[in-house]
């Protein structure tokens, strides 16, 4: 399910078109169906501006009730801290309408709903795997050169998994800061 979150979150940035731009709605849709609708709605225009993108990801809340107390304390100390994210979006990625959506479609996940219009995005998805379930929501603002997203997820492991359940809330703020420099994908 970590893959599902990693695939779902970057798709939000794919939706970064202009605020008066296209409208996309989907219900009970796969990740690839939503990605195709977003690309089609761009009507030949660029979805995002290529270049260096910088931002922050902030974990607002995370609960894992089955964690031992010392691990819960360590986790709590990390909440609210921002982590830098940097990426390079190439002109080829923009042309392929896959600027931020670089993963493969996760067949275990579906969007309950996905709405993109007027510079706003609202989505909910669920994933059902043999190892558990995840429900996630995403909402925020977007434009060709920046976005702000808030995401929540609730995960429940199947059976007697040691960590059982987990819930989290995070925000991501990112913007295009210029041309790629070649150091964007190095570990931080």
pLDDT (tens digit per residue) in 90-126: 888 877 765 444 345 678 899 999 998 888 999 999 9
- Supply the pLDDT for residue 102: 39
pLDDT tens per residue across span 111-168: 999 998 888 999 999 999 888 899 999 999 988 899 999 999 999 988 776 678 889 9
Q: What is the number of alpha carbons within 13 Å of residue 114 lying toward its C-beta?
A: 25
Report CA dihedral (30, 6, 15, 109) to the nearest 10 degrees. Answer: 10
* Confidence band of 16 (pLDDT split at 50, 70, 90): very low
The whole-angstrom separation of Cα 116 and Cα 132 is 29
- Supply the pLDDT for residue 146: 92
* Confidence band of 76 (pLDDT split at 50, 70, 90): confident
Q: Model pTM?
A: 0.77
The whole-angstrom separation of Cα 137 and Cα 125 is 6
Domain borders along the chain are 2-178
């Amino acid at each position: 399910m970590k893959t599902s979150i990693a695939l779902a979150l970057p798709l939000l940035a794919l939706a970064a078109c202009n605020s008066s731009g296209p409208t996309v709605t989907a219900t009970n849709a796969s990740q690839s169906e939503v990605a195709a609708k977003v690309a089609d709605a761009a009507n030949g225009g660029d979805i995002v501006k290529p270049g260096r993108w910088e931002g922050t990801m902030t974990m607002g809340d995370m609960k894992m009730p089955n964690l031992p107390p010392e691990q819960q304390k360590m986790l709590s100390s990390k909440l609210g801290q921002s982590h830098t994210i940097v990426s390079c979006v190439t002109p080829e990625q923009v042309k392929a309408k896959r600027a931020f959506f670089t993963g493969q479609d996760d067949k275990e996940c579906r969007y309950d709903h996905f709405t993109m219009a007027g510079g706003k995005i609202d989505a909910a998805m669920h994933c059902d795997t043999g190892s558990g379930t995840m429900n996630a929501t995403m909402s925020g603002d977007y434009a060709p050169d920046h976005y702000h997203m808030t995401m929540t997820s609730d995960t429940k492991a199947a059976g007697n998994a040691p960590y059982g359940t987990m819930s989290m809330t995070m925000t991501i703020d990112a913007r295009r800061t210029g041309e790629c420099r070649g150091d964007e994908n190095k570990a931080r």
